Amino acid sequence: MARPNIIFIVADDLGYADLGCYGGRDAVFGPVSPVLDGLAANGLKLTQGYANSPVCSPTRFGMITGRYQYRLRGAAEEPINSRSRGSTTLGLPTDHPTLPSLLKASGYQTALIGKWHLGYPPTFGPLRSGYDEFFGPMSGGVDYFTHCDSTGRHDLWFGEEDKQEDGYLTDILSKRAVDYVERMSELQKKKETPFFLSLHYTAPHWPWETRDDAAKAPNIKDNLFDLAGGNINVYRRMIHHMDEGIGWIMDALKKHGMADNTLVVFTSDNGGERFSDNWPLVGGKMDLTEGGIRVPWIAHWPAVIGKGGESTQLCMTMDWSATMLDAAGVAAHPDYPLDGVSLMPVLKDASKSFRRPLHWRMNHRGQEALRDGDWKYLKVDGNEYLFNIPGDERERANLAKKEPERLAAMRADWQAWNATMPAIPEDATVSLGYSVKDMPQR
């Protein structure tokens, strides 16, 4: 079988239960995510999949390197913010091997359409880290119509040039992705050249704007957090716009006979934020409780993945980076061994599983977490917790005092892992867009 095309679709701040296939409710207009629900029904859905971090840019460091993000200085920012333009330290080092650079070296065409959030040119950038093409914003969040970041600066790029383009950003990204698939189909008619497309939406990240809300943009541009705006109906419509765009891309793959041997993976960079549905999980973005890190994971690849598969395999973002390299037959750089583990056995047989301990830490609130099998060790604000996740997904029944030996063993495991990582730099920043003064705690 020829090497697969790969499309890595990443939503931004999507909650665990925002999609219908993960228990999400219909919106006033009907099903929120019929396309993604169909991909899950015709592929593999994982119910115990996690993000590398509960906040944007650290997860993206893990995603692009296939390694724990804590190894790189830029990933200590929670997250990198727009004020870091011009920094020569807060970004992805261009000499570090990446998922796209390794694929590119093996003959893949590579492109990023959508959010980068790993540092700014001229020191950093997608074209300097393995992508042949780039179109999208460099920063964490932009207005959907003016395409300006939180400082009011225009932030839509084609390569390393500022690009003015009219329209709703989610639709622009989807149409660009369709165009890329069309162009790659023409290229593949001439020679066997697989492609890797990173499609990183900003949806459903703030500001709260649907396709029909262009008139709101002038009033939102000075406060992209849109703290007085938005509601659940707007939020669900934003997800639906993204879902529609994914449908356009799948239609293009089918039109050119490329769908069967294209691995499409969908996830979110972290758990949901203000209007998201994380049920039955507690917490959200910035938290190492389940709602901040457990996210949807859907994989569709008809040539390899059977229909209707569901798996409880533990995994995190960087495992999918390792999986994509494995699917393409590409080895990691010997000087930069992967922390991610390939999930190819699970893709081929959803009943397969293996032990996969997962570790996290956050500067914010001094958080620590370890998920190993059914158990989770968690530390927040100096308080320690022990949860049996299958029996208590809401993390309400703290078993730390009931099982002190297990608590001690998991704490020691986390500490041993943490000792292998660089310490959090003293100048690392935590950027919170709002607090309890703006809305009550979850």
- On the question of a cis peptide bond just before residue 204, with omega within 30 degrees of 0, the verdict is yes
Tokens of 42: 């015709």
**Could you tell me if 355 and 341 are in contact, meaning their C-beta atoms sit under 8 angstroms apart?**
no
Q: Which of 406, 341, 347, 416 is nearest to 377 (CA)?
A: 406
**Residue 43: C-alpha distances to residues 20, 160, 354, 371, 400 (Å):** 15, 36, 20, 26, 38
Bridge partners, residue 93, by sequence:
none
**Could you tell me if 14 and 268 are in contact, meaning their C-beta atoms sit under 8 angstroms apart?**
yes
**Residue 434: C-alpha distances to residues 272, 277, 356, 406 (Å):** 15, 19, 34, 36
CA–CA gap between residue 304 and residue 308 (Å, rounded): 13
Q: Which of 128, 67, 62 is nearest to 95 (CA)?
A: 128
Catalytic (active-site) positions: 56, 117
**Could you tell me if 379 and 367 are in contact, meaning their C-beta atoms sit under 8 angstroms apart?**
yes
Tokens of 374: 């059914």
How many helices and strands (H and E) does the chain possess? 10, 16
Which DSSP string do the residues of 78-118 spell out, in sequence order? BS--GGGTT-SSSS--TTS--HHHHHHHTT-EEEEEE---S
Pairing mode of beta strands 5-11, 262-268: parallel
